[in-house]
Chains A and B, each alone.
Chain A
Amino acid sequence: MTDTRLMQLVQQAFDYRGYVTVVRHDGSSLVGFVYQQDVAEIAMFDEDATQRVTVPLRDIADISITGDDSAARAQRRWERRRDSLEARETSAWGEWEQRPTLILVALPIELRGIASVLRSKVRGTSASAMLGEHRVIARAVGVGGGAAHVVAADRPSLVINCGFAGALEKSLGAGDLVLASSVRDESGESVMARESVLRIARRALAYTQVAEGELLCATRIAATREDKRILARPGRLAVDLESWASARAAERAGIPWLALRVVLDPLEIDLPRFASEAREHYVPSVVRHTLRGPRAVLDLARLGTRTAIAFRSLRRAMQQLMPVLGELGACEVHS
């Protein structure tokens, strides 16, 4: 091949927005993208765009255009589209959509715990972070719901519902974790967790003691031992106020979900009276409660200790789940 012909081929490859195949005089060949040329050599990225390779011009026997021309493809797409626009509903991530993991909690205190796991700060009612290339958003949706709205808005790849729960099973103490195999609401309707999701979660939490069973989602806080005994059934481990809404919203949207709760109040322990109603802020109620006398103060101290234990336990479990979020999000829900 003449020098002129070689320079023509090099120029053509350099101008091309796609892969070319370079054949060397020794018969070996290399597929890649040429991004640099000079009088003595060309520089290429290999086909995976992981390695830079320099090829001396004297080694080159032939260069052929072998990959798609991305500029021509863009041109064709534009010609086809001309005056029509992409739909408003197109993902904000374009074809690069990386749907986030959505962690739903009810209370600001639970959100703070998750934010510390994410090494992020709480801003308003949310905290978000990138774990590698994976985006995680944690949101406090309040007691009892709000899940459907945020699931629709965030279009997550995975929904994790977590937070405090009351035990409905005698063996569970403060800080014990409950992984929901199903979530049931008070009317008796239930959503089953997917085995593929549970399998990954079990593996991630292998070194943590986790009870697996049904979660009941009540419409009001079961604060006393009597309340809890009424709700208890064989196989039903804990009661909360939020799991049902998020599990159902995720299931309806075809998104894998996981409900992981930590026991705050065991079956045979009453919560202080002020805790029987869900509130945004507990400080005024706590202050009022302390004025009831030494026994009330002692109750509060115990609740504080249980909260700290539960908080630590939940945080540890969430740390263990973080490395498998991508895997969980890739689970087929309707398999």
Chain B
Amino acid sequence: MGIPLAQMYAVARYVVNQRLAGRERYPLVLMLEPLFRCNLSCTGCGKIQYPQSLLKKQLSVAECLAASDECGAPIVSIAGGEPLLHPDVPQIVRGLSKRGRFVYLCTNALLLQQRLDEFKADKHLSFSVHMDGGRVDHDRSVAREGVYDTAVAAIREALRRGFRVTTNTTLFDGASPERVRKFFDDMMELGVEGMMISPGYSYEKAPDQEHFLKRERSRRLFSQIFDAPHKRWRFNQSPLFLRFLMGKLDFECTPWGNPTYNIFGWQRPCYLLQDGYANTFRELMEKTDWSKYGHASGNPRCQDCMVHCGFEPTAVNSTFTSTKGLARTVASMVTGRP
């Protein structure tokens, strides 16, 4: 498993404390979107289609830190847009690290080498580099030539300077299991700490509406990918989530697990759906009708979703709240099989 012990311990302690405090709903990862502008226009992305004036807008350092304080989640994933387009993103990272948060800075890495000097290697910071596959697949997914090569060069340089680097991969319909497996080998060869993988969500506003995976196809694809997994593959996510992707476990979504904060406020209900915004984190947690979301709710927008932001929190909770879940997680860690 590709998650450092200090981080695992921090998350475990946090979850246990929440349970002891009798909290039914609590966040695990704050999805912080300090801006929506991006230097790529990926075919499957529905996050960045806004008028120019909103794309130019960004959260200040103080707003980002206040959101983290309000939310209290031990992990902060800085997403967007491309966070490295934000001039103050190093200060945001520093402020979050000082608060003991584990920060995943999600980036396409186009600007990583250029801005690496502004960051300090720290166990609390991991660059989570967007990689949707090998050279051909990734460049096609981000719709620009040479992005894979740039990202690989940036990963090498970041690793050389002692930074934690992970990858995050979104798979769409038509992905080849063999090529994905080869890609995992390549990333391990490169020396990344761990990989994250998820099927893409069918954003209503994304340009390409043809290649989003339906639930059954997702399960088939991930079963093929993880059939006889290589021992060297390390994933920066719960093994139970990977089992869920393969269809070996059935989880319900935990939409409050990864609350999202951006220029509009606290997004309802989750990172993927936009049913409006709450002014405070408390309002989001208390005033959202959670029964309207998730597979069991019958909400058509949730039926094909298997994205990590909803199901990884369920997997983590399952590990820490049931003996079976803990045993499965330990078994996966020992055998290297999801």
Seen from chain A, the residues whose Cβ lies within 8 Å of a Cβ on chain B are: 14, 17-19, 33, 35-38, 43, 45, 47-49, 67-68, 70-71, 73-75, 77-79, 81, 85-88, 90-96, 120-121, 123, 126-130, 132-133, 135
Contact = CB atoms under 8 A, between A and B. Distances in A.
A128 B90 CA distance: 12
A68 B208 contact: no
Interface string B34-61: 0001111101001011110110110000
8 contacts: A33-B51, A36-B277, A49-B54, A74-B41, A86-B145, A96-B39, A96-B85, A132-B87
Contact of A92 (B114, B145, B264): B114
Interface string B53-95: 1101100000000000000000000000010010110000000
A96 B57 CA distance: 12
Contacts of A19: 51
A36 B288 CA distance: 13
A77 B114 CA distance: 28
A147 to B, nearest CB: 19
B162 interface: no
Contacts of A135: 87
B117 A74 contact: no
A88 B145 contact: yes
Contacts, number: 107
B51 A68 contact: yes
A319 B313 CA distance: 49
A95 B85 CA distance: 11
Given A35-B276, A71-B49, A87-B145, A130 B57 contact: no
Contacts of B276: 14, 35-38
Contact of A93 (B53, B111, B117): B111
Nearest to A122: B117
Name the prevailing secondary structure of the B interface residues: loop
The winner among B51, B139, B143 for most chain A CB atoms within 10 A is: B51
Contacts of B4: none
Nearest to A68: B51
A94 B39 contact: yes
B87 to A, nearest CB: 5
Given A68-B51, A86-B143, 20 more contacts: A33-B54, A36-B277, A45-B57, A71-B46, A71-B49, A71-B205, A75-B207, A78-B41, A78-B208, A81-B143, A85-B139, A86-B144, A91-B39, A94-B37, A94-B85, A96-B37, A96-B39, A130-B87, A133-B87, A135-B87
B269 to A, nearest CB: 13
Nearest to B88: A130
Contact of A17 (B49, B118, B139): B49
A220 B101 CA distance: 54
A18 B276 CA distance: 15
B277 to A, nearest CB: 5
Nearest to B113: A92
